[in-house]
Amino acid sequence: MSEPVEHDPDDALAAEYALGTLEHDARERVRLRVASDPAFAARVSQWEATLAPLFAYAAPVEPPRGAWQRIAAATFARRPPGFVPAFWKWLALGTGSLAAASLAALVFVARMEPPPTVIANNALVAGQDGQALLIVSIAPDGQSAMVTPVGLPRDSQRSLELWQIATDGVPHSLGLVATGHTTRIRLASPMVQSSDDGNIFAVSSEPEGGSPTGQPTGPVIGQGHARPI
């Protein structure tokens, strides 16, 4: 049987700290906890390692003058007592959704300034319940991608296989998906960057070792559309 993916508040907090989304006081409290709680520090390190590949293809950009002031004005505007943004209520539903939140945050920041020369395509592969399963980050040349597992189920007697469905509508196998670490893959069909070209990525549950036919034979547990961010 597949093992259920469990979520808890500490895991969400560790992910927020790794993403850098905590406000100053909260971040300082978590920093002190990292220094005194080895188990929690390990969670933070794990999230840092998981999220790092998302930025592997991003070139460093000097922030424009006044960027922080604009972000602070938008973020810390006066709100009624007890106000909790819907964003954070949604985020608390599970750390799987945190991956989608990080992509949304990148979109928000990117729109503040003119887009860079290269815009990466990414696909958030999620199940029917909206639970994020993995992130596919396509390289700028459109030839390869980094696959980062987020909330994949584990089954010792089944294999998870990743598929690219290009504009021809035919699933092309990209190989088996590692559930515990990020892997680099070569795309079956090169992708045009900075455009929504219809590519879909999907994960199916296959017999151990992968599909025996070269096409999905087991249930598709998640899919996601590649989009520029």
Reported as a single tens digit per residue, the pLDDT across 19-73 is 777 788 888 999 999 989 988 888 887 777 666 666 555 556 667 777 777 776 7
- The confidence score (pLDDT) of residue 158 equals 92
More confident residue, 131 or 206: 206
For residue 210, give both structure tokens.
Answer: 């992968």
Q: What are phi and psi of 162, to 5 degrees?
A: -95, 140
Tokens (6 digits) for 102: 């990080």
Q: Tell me the HSE value of 108 on the side-chain side, using a 13 A CA sphere.
A: 11
Every domain of the chain with CATH number 1.10.10 lies at 9-110
Q: Are 163 and 218 in contact (CB under 8 A)?
A: no
Architecture of domain 121-228: Sandwich (2.60)
CATH 2.60.40.200 residue ranges of the chain are: 121-228
Residue 148 exposure: Cα atoms within 13 Å on the Cβ side: 24
In the chain, the percentage of residues whose pLDDT exceeds 70 is 66
CATH class of 9-110: mainly alpha
**Average pLDDT for 79-101:** 48
